[in-house]
Homo-oligomer: A and B are copies of this chain.
Amino acid sequence: MSETESKETAAADTAVHGTVATGYEDVREEFAAVLANPDEGPDHAAQLTVHVRGEKVVDLWGGPHIGPDSLTPVYSSTKGAAHLVVALLVQDGVLDLDRAVASYWPEFGVHGKDRLTLRDLLAHRAGVVGADTGFSAEEVVDDRLMAERLAAQRPYWRPGTAFGYHAYVIGALTGEVVRRVTGRTIQEWYEERVRAPFGLDFYLGEPDGATSRFLETLPMTPTPAQQAEQAANPSGAHSLGGIAFNLNGKEPTDLVATANSAASRKASPASYGGIASARGLAGMYLAVLGDGPGSAGPLLTPDTLAEFGQVHSEGIDLVGGQRSAFGLGFQAFSEEKYPVLGHGSIGHSGAAGSVAFADPRNRIAYGYNRRRFAYPGGAAPENVHLVRAVVRAASA
């Protein structure tokens, strides 16, 4: 691998560290532009790791306090890890996508949810995006307590008529299915089947000794224009979005404070509680593709990968009010945010801006992580440029 040493910029705190392979210099330039962006506020930092056809072609980091092994909350990028577990259990024949959730979990089969399948659940079609009176602070970091509440909940839309992002709860729902069937949690399966074998710095449950590498998410610092944009279209605490983000109860959730908390990092709710480095994020998807050094083969067979990457929900997301696209438990990035990617890419983004995916057609494993919560939430906008630069270089 021919590498180019990254240049240091004048101001020390915006220096780009790490390496890119020859041909990937544009990716480094795009990454440098993120760090140099004056709108990002103090202590902004980021990491980016990319593998193409098994070669680590990008491995960059920069910003105060951050190193290549620093761990931050990755929010919903956690869902990628959780649903990799579900994919493995489906692949093993332990779970059946077309069985009713209620056949695994009888309490779930009320209020018209009796015929909802595991497939529907994974495709964000169940409609139980939150609970009528909200979750307590204790519940919101406990998948099992959330699952108990959600089983009794009437769905917010008629099953079959719509889909919407189950932001805080999809992993609690699929995790409860996993627990009922196997007696073990999604977090335990992830550790055993995925994290430990590949030595990934992507944890569902902060391990002892990792605290020294942990960096808290920094809160969003919207510009005045961004603040005005947010104020122009307020949504209510009792709207579907308010319910999905647990703003509708007596203890409304502060997402950043929650994800930074020791309780969340320890319990790691399967929808949002993971912590990782970009190396960890990219490494997991490298294992999915089976392109890693000395890899014993891909975690997912081509058939499983195709099934979980197949578009199952597409159109206006009823929770977010904008267009989105989901496979099974994963976001269908090529149909939504990144049309330069190959169809059937599986991945997930996180609220603070992280993005991670595997593109099996272009054989790309990508992990991006950042410390300051990006406006307006979800996949940070810079990923559009970073992903394009990666694909351009990979196709050259």
Q: Which chain A residues have a beta carbon within 8 Å of chain B's beta carbons?
A: 123, 154-158, 161-162, 233-243, 248, 306, 310-316, 318, 321, 323, 334-335, 339-344, 359, 361-362, 388, 391, 395
Residues of B within 8 A of A313 (CB): 161
24 pairs across A/B with beta carbons < 8 Å? A155-B310, A156-B311, A157-B312, A161-B312, A161-B313, A162-B314, A233-B339, A234-B339, A234-B340, A234-B388, A235-B339, A236-B340, A236-B341, A236-B362, A237-B395, A238-B362, A239-B339, A239-B340, A239-B342, A240-B334, A242-B343, A248-B361, A314-B318, A316-B323
Smallest beta-carbon distance A227→chain B, Å? 17
Residues of B within 8 A of A395 (CB): 237
The 6 closest A-B pairs by CB, nearest first: A238-B342, A238-B361, A235-B339, A157-B311, A236-B340, A240-B343
Residues of B within 8 A of A361 (CB): 238, 248
CB contact under 8 A between A157 and B241, given known A234-B340, A248-B361, A334-B236: no
Smallest beta-carbon distance A376→chain B, Å? 15
User: Is A161 a contact partner of B343 (Cβ separation < 8 A)?
Assistant: no
Residues of B within 8 A of A314 (CB): 157, 161-162, 316, 318
Residues of B within 8 A of A239 (CB): 334, 339-343
User: Is B340 a contact partner of A235 (Cβ separation < 8 A)?
Assistant: yes
User: Is B157 a contact partner of A306 (Cβ separation < 8 A)?
Assistant: no
User: Is A343 a contact partner of B243 (Cβ separation < 8 A)?
Assistant: yes
The docked-state distance in angstroms from the alpha carbon of A310 to that of B341 is: 35
User: Is B339 a contact partner of A157 (Cβ separation < 8 A)?
Assistant: no
The docked-state distance in angstroms from the alpha carbon of A161 to that of B236 is: 30
Residues of B within 8 A of A321 (CB): 335, 339
The docked-state distance in angstroms from the alpha carbon of A335 to that of B241 is: 9
Identity of the chain B residue whose Cβ is nearest the Cβ of A323 in the assembled complex: B316
The docked-state distance in angstroms from the alpha carbon of A391 to that of B239 is: 12
Residues of B within 8 A of A315 (CB): 162, 315-316
Smallest beta-carbon distance A363→chain B, Å? 10
Identity of the chain B residue whose Cβ is nearest the Cβ of A391 in the assembled complex: B236
Residues of B within 8 A of A334 (CB): 236, 238-240
Contact of A162 among B233, B311, B318 (CB under 8 A): B311
Identity of the chain B residue whose Cβ is nearest the Cβ of A159 in the assembled complex: B310
Smallest beta-carbon distance A354→chain B, Å? 22
Residues of B within 8 A of A388 (CB): 234
Residues of B within 8 A of A318 (CB): 311, 314, 335
Residues of B within 8 A of A240 (CB): 334-335, 343
Residues of B within 8 A of A236 (CB): 334, 339-342, 362, 391
Smallest beta-carbon distance A75→chain B, Å? 23
Identity of the chain B residue whose Cβ is nearest the Cβ of A318 in the assembled complex: B314
Residues of B within 8 A of A311 (CB): 156-158, 161-162, 318
The docked-state distance in angstroms from the alpha carbon of A388 to that of B316 is: 24
The docked-state distance in angstroms from the alpha carbon of A318 to that of B339 is: 11
User: Is A157 a contact partner of B341 (Cβ separation < 8 A)?
Assistant: no
The docked-state distance in angstroms from the alpha carbon of A361 to that of B239 is: 9
The docked-state distance in angstroms from the alpha carbon of A118 to that of B344 is: 26
